[in-house]
Amino acid sequence: MNRGSRWAFLGLVVAQAAHSLEEYSTRLYEVLAPARFVSGLVFEDRRIGFAIFNVSLAAFGLWCFLGPVWRGGRAGVALAWFWVVLELANGLAHVGWAVSAREYRPGLLTAPVLLAMALVLAWQLRRSSVAARAAA
């Protein structure tokens, strides 16, 4: 992984944290069945369960950044690609949900940022992979 990949990964984790804050402040855990379900699994009070889940997600992202991603080995690259797929799906789901409803849905404002950061990270990872193969 190159330096750009590492910093793009951190940017994606920060974008996810902002996205989680938007979702929490707009009460996604009350209006989207999967969010209600997961939040209820974590804690009886869905508001608290949603917060715990999202803080845990951000903490996992920071752990990935400070550990495997920073070291840049195979595990770091695999985790970075996992986050690319996760956030592309997340961002597209929010946009699709809002488009189908023809109105704002919780998470829509930051979904384009997730999509952009996931694409930047994918581009950086691909660029790093091509450069590594060329150097070998």
Helix (H) or strand (E) holding 76: helix 74-101
Using pLDDT thresholds of 50, 70 and 90, give the confidence band for residue 16: very high
Q: Output the pLDDT for position 49.
A: 98
Largest distance between two CA atoms of the chain:
54
What is the mean predicted confidence (pLDDT) over 8-22?
Answer: 98
The tens digit of pLDDT for each residue in 72-128 reads: 999 999 999 999 999 999 999 999 999 999 999 999 999 999 999 999 999 999 999
**Residue 22 is part of which domain span?**
3-135
From CA 129, how far away is CA 111, in angstroms rounded?
27
Q: Output the pLDDT for position 135.
A: 80
Which two three-digit tokens encode residue 58? 């951000």
Please state the domain count of the chain: 1
From 1, 31, 3, 18, select the one nearest 116 (Cα to Cα).
18
Q: Output the pLDDT for position 28.
A: 98
Q: Output the pLDDT for position 23.
A: 98
